[in-house]
Amino acid sequence: MKKTHKINTQIAEHFNWGTHCDGWFLANNPNLCILQEKMPAGTMEEKHYHEKTWQFFFIISGTATMEIDNVQHLLGALDGIEVQPQVPHKIVNNTNQDLVFIVVSTPNHKLDRVNVGNHTQEKQIEIKSLMDCKEHIPQLAELWYEEISRHWAPNASIEKAKQKLNEHLNDNKTPMALVALQNKKPIGMACLRENDGIRPGISPWLGSLVVHPKHRGQAIGEMLIDAIKSQAKALNYPVLYLLAFDPTIPNWYTRLGWQFIGTDELFGHPVAVMSISL
Ligand SMILES: CC(C)(COP(=O)(O)OP(=O)(O)OC[C@H]1O[C@@H](n2cnc3c(N)ncnc32)[C@H](O)[C@@H]1OP(=O)(O)O)[C@@H](O)C(=O)NCCC(=O)NCCS
């Protein structure tokens, strides 16, 4: 009989995967694999499924966005979720902190993995805090001005957008901004703010969500929203709010799980107000 001994990441067999992600084999036999894994901020695995393996993911620290059969689940510390065989899934760390979790796979998932491919993965979309890539503020200010503020805000300018973005250089508190980068170039952003111009009694707000016109329709907007939701959740907010000037866009937010909670007015324009539970 095999002798029992203590196991931890100091002594377990280690491997690297993805972009600077770590894995340790806590148990590894033909019937069972138990891995502890660490994913740094802004990393994701490729979407895949297992033919026969049943899995259970259990979060130790950080926040995971677990996509299972195209449905996203936000998991915090001590949350767990199972994944049935043949169901496509991927785990994403959209936050600014490390994500540490355990994956139990039975039978052992070795050689039982089929990658499904994912256009955002292939194109290497990364979500980073603006704090960690402030050199992109000029391009992001231009994008924000062109696609949002010049249409809706009075006296908007690229200079004002730059100043405002410089106020968003925070990691663990509002206001913060997250940037979507493709091959290291900024192609979108979203902000988390205490207030976004209306209803001072409620917070926080998803604001300034914008994706460069050339890169739309590839779920980058959705990824940015998920990343902002993870940040708000990590800051212990139970609900996130947004306001929308464009009258057609609430339909899309509704499809992503947001609820219409009323109308208001900002800069003389009617706006839809929406919320989502975290
Ligand atoms: C809204 C925006 C961020 C979406 O970015 P994206 O990366 O294309 O988003 P996704 O790929 O995740 O989702 C695209 C979906 O949004 C829908 N959508 C985007 N803008 C829309 C609008 N104005 N009205 C209705 N639906 C819209 C698209 O129809 C598409 O739907 P589909 O999935 O059925 O094809 C992007 O269109 C944008 O930057 N728009 C200008 C700025 C803006 O309006 N920001 C929102 C402020 S509230």
Q: Is the CB of 99 under 6 A from ligand 1?
A: no
* pLDDT at residue 276 is higher than 90: yes
What pLDDT was estimated at residue 79? Answer: 96
Query: What is the average pLDDT value for the chain, to the nearest integer?
Result: 92
What pLDDT was estimated at residue 244? Answer: 97
Q: Which residue has the higher pLDDT, 148 or 3?
A: 148
What pLDDT was estimated at residue 1? Answer: 61
Tell me which of 252, 254, 264 to substitute to probe ligand 1's pocket, judged by most ligand atoms within 8 Å of the beta carbon: 252
* From 120-134, 184-198, 217-231, the region with the lowest mean pLDDT: 120-134
Q: Which residue has the higher pLDDT, 71 or 117?
A: 71
Over pLDDT 70: what percentage of the chain?
A: 96
* pLDDT at residue 111 is higher than 80: no
Q: What's the whole-number mean pLDDT along residues 40-53?
A: 89
| Cα 119 to Cα 15, 46, 237, distances in angstroms | 26, 10, 31
Question: Which domains are seen in the chain, by residue range?
Answer: 13-117 (2.60.120.10), 126-277 (3.40.630.30)
Q: Are strands 80-83 and 114-115 parallel, antiparallel or unpaired?
A: unpaired
Q: Is the CB of 98 under 6 A from ligand 1?
A: no
Q: Is the CB of 252 under 6 A from ligand 1?
A: yes
* From 22-26, 64-68, 120-124, 180-184, the region with the lowest mean pLDDT: 120-124
* Ligand 1 center–CA 124 separation, angstroms: 20
Q: Is the CB of 222 under 6 A from ligand 1?
A: yes
* pLDDT at residue 122 is higher than 60: no
What pLDDT was estimated at residue 3? Answer: 75
Q: Which residue has the higher pLDDT, 3 or 200?
A: 200
pLDDT digits (tens, 9 = 90+) for 150-171: 999 999 999 999 999 999 999 8
pTM above 0.85, yes or no: no
* pLDDT at residue 225 is higher than 60: yes
Q: Is the CB of 216 under 6 A from ligand 1?
A: yes
* pLDDT at residue 97 is higher than 50: yes
* pLDDT at residue 39 is higher than 70: yes
* Ligand 1 center–CA 87 separation, angstroms: 27
Q: What's the whole-number mean pLDDT along residues 32-55?
A: 92
Do residues 227 and 94 touch, judged by C-beta distance below 8 A?
yes
